[in-house]
Amino acid sequence: MAADTGAARPDPADVAGRVRAAPRADAHLVNQYYTLCIPFYREFLGDHWHTGWYDAQAPIGPNDQLRMEAVIARSARLGPGSEVLDVGCGVGGPACHLAATTGARVRGLTPNDDQLAIARASAARRQLQDRVQFDLGDAGRLPYPDASFDAVLFFESACHFPDRERFFAEAWRVLRPGGRLAGEDWVAGTAVPVPQQKHWNRLIATTWAIPELDTIHGYVQGMQRAGFADVAGRDLREETALLRGFLVDPQVRRQVEAERAAEPDPVRALIMEGLLVLGEAASLGAFTVGRFLAHKPA
């Protein structure tokens, strides 16, 4: 995603209409969408904009997102002194949490001015300025020298990048030898025939401003082409009670549909529509979340 600065605040109805109509969301449209959805994402998810690591029995809550971050941090071997980059950092929740809990020094990168301001304010409020910094920039042109980081992370941001192959190549460049690329992301499920997979990919893309969903296998291949070794991709349905994080219960779906129909804000209505689409796609196996780990050879 390219940084998009100095523009007038986008019109919600216009942006929602273009997200629905776009054959492939470009960086500018993705950035406009994320400017408008900030208050609604914070309403739904707080400052941690990603799927949780769900317990099959425990109540759903904010700790689910924190557990997911801890899982990714352990896989990346974060610890005191680690230099870490979180690409597509949103409003900074994961970066601040991981700096506070692992002792790592974290840089968060976002292309969005509004997200940047919130993230910096959050780090200041938590008195983490000595361990967390946030920058404005593009995932396809990371504004850092070669071999700057021990780990590069992503939390459901790469699905929005117009060119994931370029991001993987840039992640390889800024990692030190032996460094790790770790994260989790929305991906296409493969439990349905290809025509249905394409149908659901299109519905998801046009409710969430996603250029194009890929499969877990596609991510693994992209990382390998960038030069990474020991690349692993796991379907989170195999590791956690993933469907608990999506709208799959019929009664809850009916309630959300009624709220969506009455919602006056077009962006909030689009988000609610997207939640319904994700829930149905996930229940069919047409959508899932993948967890990834790759190493830059030493």
Residue 3 lies in a domain: no
Catalytic residue chosen out of the listed positions 156, 257, 263, 280: 156
Any idea which residue has 């919130």 for tokens?
Answer: 118
Q: Specify if 270 maps to a domain.
A: no
Please state, in angstroms and rounded to a whole number, the distance separating the CA atoms of residues 216 and 203: 19
Q: Would 278 be classed as within a structural domain?
A: no
252/72 Cα distance (integer angstroms): 30
Q: Let me know if 156 is a catalytic residue.
A: yes
The ranges of the chain with pLDDT < 70 are 1-7
Please report whether residue 143 resides in a domain: yes
Distance CA 106, CA 129 (A): 10
CA gap 265, 274 in Å, rounded:
14
Give the domain CATH number at 218: 3.40.50.150
The answer as to whether 134 is a domain residue is: yes
Specify if 264 maps to a domain. no
The CB-side HSE value for 247 (13 A sphere, CA atoms) comes to 18
Distance CA(149)–CA(146), nearest Å, equals 9
* Local structure of 83: helix, strand or coil: strand
Q: Which pLDDT does position 2 carry in this prediction?
A: 39
Tell me whether strands 229-235 and 132-136 are parallel, antiparallel or unpaired.
unpaired
Q: Domain containing 82: what range?
A: 12-188+211-246+287-295
Q: Is residue 206 part of a domain?
A: no
User: Collapsing DSSP states into helix, strand and coil, what is residue 46?
Assistant: coil
For residue 97, count other CB atoms closer than 10 A to its CB: 21
Residues in Cβ contact with 57 at an 8 Å cutoff, skipping those fewer than 6 apart: none
The pLDDT score that the predictor gives to residue 178 is 98
Q: Where are the alpha helices (DSSP H) in the chain?
A: 12-21, 27-45, 62-75, 93-102, 113-125, 164-174, 194-208, 216-225, 250-262, 266-284
Domain count along the chain:
1
Contact 112, 4 (CB under 8 A): yes
In a domain, 193, yes or no: no
**So what's the pLDDT on residue 223?**
98
**What pTM, to 2 d.p., does this model score?**
0.95
Torsion of CA 235, 84, 297, 239, to 10 degrees: -20
pLDDT in tens, 43-78: 999 999 999 999 999 999 999 999 999 999 999 999
